[in-house]
Amino acid sequence: MATNYTPEVEARLRADAAEVVSRYPQLRSAIMPLLHLVQSEDGFCSPRGITLVADILGLTRAQVSAVATFYSQYRRHPNGEYNVGVCTNALCAVMGGDQIWEELTDYVGVGHDQTTEDGKITLEQLECNAGCDYAPVVMVNWEFFDNQTPASAKQIVDDIRAGRDIHPTRGPEKVHTFKEISRVLAGFEDGHVDEGPAAGEASLRGLKIAREHGWSAPKAVEETK
């Protein structure tokens, strides 16, 4: 299949894809990381990327597109350099997520799944990010910004626009670009996995209380014949 990549780019992508595919006993199982690999190159699941993945895995383009259109982390049009997601699910919403979303969309000038003209920012209205203990949460390229306010969310946007590094509450020291993060999701380590804390005080409070009281998880009951 013709992909419209330059020979040099296609050769590089195929070499990376071969490494990914080697991790799976069945070719088709590699479809999701390969779609992230495409996004690391094109910034979305492009038609040429869909064609490349289909050719590598021996699938039809329709089969690959079916996966790319099902999961929200796969984009079907060019994504911004930074994906700014505001959680508006139940807890975040009542803690201020709805207000953050309303003010941020007015401030940035785009809505859900829309990108600013300079290509810097895509806004996304998110469902639960499993960070309810830090509601309301904003995620930038899937890194956590906890306990946000409209003002702090606008500051994130201002820093992105100014080209300044932005620093998540947990995880790496700074947020990397959408394409860089997509390569990590494809299965290629970037060396930043252990830079910052994975959990904070609110997440660990229950464990601390249990240890103070000497509590432990119940032992599994052995089945009797």
How many degrees, rounded to 5, is the angle at CA 134 between CA 132 and CA 139?
Answer: 85
**132 annotated as a binding-site residue:** yes
Q: How far apart are CA 96 and CA 110, in angstroms?
A: 20
Specify the 3-state DSSP secondary structure of 91.
helix
Question: Which secondary structure element, helix H or strand E, spans residue 143, and what is its range?
Answer: strand 143-145
Q: Locate 125 and state its tokens.
A: 């209205």
Distance CA 165, CA 138 (A): 16
Is there a binding annotation on residue 45? no
Instruction: List the binding residues.
Output: 87, 92, 128, 132
Instruction: List the binding residues for [2Fe-2S] cluster.
Output: 87, 92, 128, 132
